[in-house]
Structure 1
Amino acid sequence: MNSNAPRKSLSVIFVLCWLGLLADGYDLYVYGATLPGLIGHPPFNVTPAAAGAVGSIALVGMLLGSLIVGTLTDRFGRRRIFVGALGLFSVAMLACSAAPSWEMFAAFRFVACFGVGGLLPTAVALTNEFAPPGRKSLVLGAVLTGPAVGTVAASLSSLSLLESAGFRPVYAIGAAGLLLVPLAWFMLPESPSFLRIRLRAAEADALEAAYGLARTAEAPSSTARVSPTRALFAAGTARTTLLLWAITVLSLLTIFGVSTWLPQIMRTAGFGVGSSVSFLLAYSMGAVVGTVLASFASQKFGPRPLVIVGFVSAAAALLLMSGNPPAVLMTLLAAVAGFGGLGTQNMINDYIAQFYPSATRATGLGWALAVGRLGAIAGPAYGAMLVGFGGGVPVAAMAFAAPALLGAALMLALRAKAARQAVPAGSELVG
């Protein structure tokens, strides 16, 4: 640790990142929570096929956000990107609440998801860098409960407002993230490693002293220059990078397929609007509790085994749901599926953040999530196809268990201790 006693609290950073991710989670998962009030209801009276298409198109925005903004974070710094992404998706949510047509709603939803896609890599990179070395998994796990808590908030808002007031106030609540913008602008610090790479060593030294951080490595003096994106495929990392991309695709396909369509699938199974949304609430609560428990276990065993356990848990819960058990057991299984869905993705994010060095951490996570969005994009369309097919809960549950099992198999294929040297010695990262 830095010899100077810390003068500023690290908790402010973690709380702001958590609040940003809570807003991120609300704005992302509110679509699935409001589908029962959008499909076949005024003012849009959309069909399941149209709803699935918009869900997938919006997630193209997330892909672009993860890819573009995640890379820009390692070019322009964490703080500015965090604030910009937060402001963008919050304004877009307000626009969704006032959309005069389904086409305008879809356009605003695309913009919101672009901003959402850019926030997570930035928040994870900041949290990982400032977290104490011996408690990174614990701190990151706590911060990563933000999206799941946001999903809980989206479910509760829908339960309270959807039947009585429609979808508009539920989306308007998502604009509350704007309240965080000035706080994040004035209170979030920049990444010391980013400052040092930009040859702003004095600023990096001052930040490290202020927060009691260990001193980051000096900027390389070699003239060799490697971009953050190319560094993901440097010697010893290409295989792991590709496997992590595939694992993220399968994880996000399962998450977005289930979270988008779970309420509507339950609605078609005979549950009322409120009851069907309550299954998404159980799914979200399972993700919150599961992420907290997994972060404690990850601190001791590492995130890799927790990812495997999560995938297998999700698959098992979904397969058991295919038998149409009683409502109480179905709710419990939805919670287990939430742990194995959102909870597992949080552990994947933890693994990625620990695998790549700080100079490429946001880029590595941004690219993994960007490629993973292919699964997220496929998930709603996949669910729409299942709903249109008419197989109900049994068919949908078994169909979403398959990618979870494949994800567990690929995580087993990763070496237990993959090399973390993502940049050749003597090379300089350029933004």
Structure 2
Amino acid sequence: MTPLTATHRSRTLVYFICWLSLIADGYDLYVYGTTLPALIGQDPFNITAAQAGTVGSLALVGMLIGSLVVGMLTDKLGRRKILIGSVVLFSVFMLVCAFAPTWEIFAAARFIACFGVGGLLPTAVALANEFALPERKSLTLGIVLTGPALGTVIASLSSMLLIETYSFRPVYAIGSFGLIAAALAWKYLPESPAFLANAGRSAQAAQVCAAYGLNPPAPTHAAVSTAEQLNPTRRLFGAELRARSMRIWVVTLLSMLTMFGVSTWLPQIMRNAGYGLGSSVSFLLAYSIGAMLGTVIASMIGQRIGVKPLVVFGFSTAAIALMLMTFNPPTALMMLLVALTGFGGMGTQNQINDYIAQFYPASIRATGLGWALAIGRLGAIAGPTYGALIIATGTGVAGAAIAFAVPAVFGALIMLSLPRVKPGAPAPTSSDAAGAVPAPAPSPTLPTSK
């Protein structure tokens, strides 16, 4: 076996563990929307739509806290430990949801599970990005980020097959399969070389780089003070990165408001429109398949032209598809529009995650992702409650479609103001990312201002 083949296999195992973890993440996150028709007005809890929306939003508060806290801890404690801990946490509390005797215990377990879900994504994306070949970063991340969408597909299928006969409990129990990913990560997942280098463990970083065919981590930019090197959050809020980071946060917030609002309430909206329980959940399945296929296709294109145009295109696609739903087309066409909305919702968020991972330097990548996703969770928190308010108006599919098209339009407009990151280029240094005045010979990693 040649060294190249060995290295390729080693990298693939890292990607696989991140991907499998994100499948469990997607399942556990989106299963709530698939089971709402079996929770609202049904035994044993007999909750109202308002109660369901409140718990959906409170659970996403857990995700916000998880994204923020774990995102910061990852660059201090190491990505391997955080990934394993996050997966174990949400997998165990999915089992608690499955056996919860009361709605209050179910809600509390949902909150804690979502804390773990919120902590996983920035860590998994940062690891996959770091181990990916420079010329294949967007494609690699795109494939890894099909995990949440595939998890949603599995959640939708599980609900369609089990809910009518067995209610919601076995659907939540299946979500504990993330423990398999945690076991694989414990045995096979390496630590991030960038983390090891920043922690002063240069020899270990060099060993990991040699084993996986990676370039040694780039030294921290000379302009960054020692205090900033030890505090990734301080670097993130520095004058050089602050303005663009805030725009990234707003884009992420609008994306998540659209994504979580639609994915949480889509089955219930379609059931209110006259579709049966199985048929209403099938729309979420179409949404998830559209997100998964769209992510892969967009990543292949993004590897050539950059991620930014794909984010703008995704937002625009979601807005147009949602507006076309207001005409109440036939079921087949409605399914297609829902699939396009999935690409423009969950698929666009995957491209945003790719953009963020390429925008920030490796030493603060997980922190940058954690903060962006934490702020984005404000939109995720608002999404279920926003959807509940729209449903309460009685405007049906048309009202919901218009309501969720608006944030997609604004997301596209704000994304246009952000710089492009070059496909396959190494992550910019903090000065590069901030648009500092370049030296006479421009750095090849400097984002353009298009």
Equivalent position amino acid for 1:421 in 2? T
Compare 416-425 and 86-95 and name the one that shifted more: 416-425
Paired residues of 1:13 and 1:188 also in contact (CA < 8 A)? yes
**Does the alignment pair 1:55 with 2:59?**
no
Per the alignment, residue 364 of structure 2 pairs with 360
The 3 A distance-change label for structure 1 pair 223 and 306 is closer
Q: How does 1:328-367 map to 2 (within 5 A)?
A: 328-367=332-371
Helix, strand or coil for the counterpart of 1:413?
A: coil
Equivalent position amino acid for 2:357 in 1? A
Identity within the alignment, %: 61
**Does the alignment pair 1:309 with 2:313?**
yes
Q: How does 1:126-137 map to 2 (within 5 A)?
A: 126-137=127-138
Structure 2: distance between partners of 1:181 and 1:352: 25
Paired residues of 2:153 and 2:285 also in contact (CA < 8 A)? yes
Deviation at 1:219, TM superposition (A): 6.1
Structure 2: distance between partners of 1:351 and 1:101: 42
Deviation at 1:324, TM superposition (A): 1.2
**Does the alignment pair 1:233 with 2:241?**
no
Equivalent position amino acid for 2:227 in 1? R
Normalised by the length of structure 1, the TM-score is 0.95
Structure 2: distance between partners of 1:377 and 1:313: 23
Per the alignment, residue 392 of structure 1 pairs with 396
Per the alignment, residue 83 of structure 1 pairs with 84
Q: How does 1:187-266 map to 2 (within 5 A)?
A: 187-218=188-219, 224-226=226-228, 227-266=231-270
Structure 1 gap segments, 5+ residues each: 426-431
Structure 1: distance between partners of 2:404 and 2:113: 26
Equivalent position amino acid for 2:285 in 1? L
Structure 2 gap segments, 5+ residues each: 434-450
Deviation at 1:236, TM superposition (A): 3.2
The 3 A distance-change label for structure 1 pair 232 and 39 is same
| Number of equivalent positions | 423
The 3 A distance-change label for structure 1 pair 51 and 131 is same
Per the alignment, residue 428 of structure 1 pairs with none
Deviation at 1:9, TM superposition (A): 1.4
Per the alignment, residue 68 of structure 1 pairs with 69
After superposition, what is the alpha-carbon deviation per residue over 1:230-258, rounded to whole angstroms, capped at 9, x for unaligned? 21133432221000000000000000000
Helix, strand or coil for the counterpart of 2:291?
A: helix
Match for residue 270 of structure 1 among 252, 269, 274: 274
Structure 2: distance between partners of 1:178 and 1:23: 9
Paired residues of 1:233 and 1:422 also in contact (CA < 8 A)? no
Equivalent position amino acid for 1:145 in 2? T
The 3 A distance-change label for structure 1 pair 5 and 284 is closer
If asked which structure has higher relative contact order (CA below 8 Å, sep 6+), I would say 1
After superposition, what is the alpha-carbon deviation per residue over 1:39-82, rounded to whole angstroms, capped at 9, x for unaligned? 11100111000000000000000000000011100010000000
Per the alignment, residue 19 of structure 2 pairs with 18
Per the alignment, residue 143 of structure 1 pairs with 144
Deviation at 1:142, TM superposition (A): 0.4
The 3 A distance-change label for structure 1 pair 79 and 280 is same
Paired residues of 2:209 and 2:215 also in contact (CA < 8 A)? yes
Per the alignment, residue 447 of structure 2 pairs with none
Structure 1: distance between partners of 2:292 and 2:394: 31
Paired residues of 2:286 and 2:335 also in contact (CA < 8 A)? yes
Structure 1: distance between partners of 2:59 and 2:400: 22
Helix, strand or coil for the counterpart of 2:227?
A: strand
Per the alignment, residue 180 of structure 1 pairs with 181
After superposition, the CA RMSD in angstroms is 1.8
The 3 A distance-change label for structure 1 pair 202 and 54 is same
After superposition, what is the alpha-carbon deviation per residue over 1:151-188, rounded to whole angstroms, capped at 9, x for unaligned? 00000000000111100000000011112222101100
Structure 2: distance between partners of 1:422 and 1:94: 42
The 3 A distance-change label for structure 1 pair 184 and 282 is same
Deviation at 1:11, TM superposition (A): 0.4
Deviation at 1:4, TM superposition (A): 9.2
Deviation at 1:398, TM superposition (A): 0.4
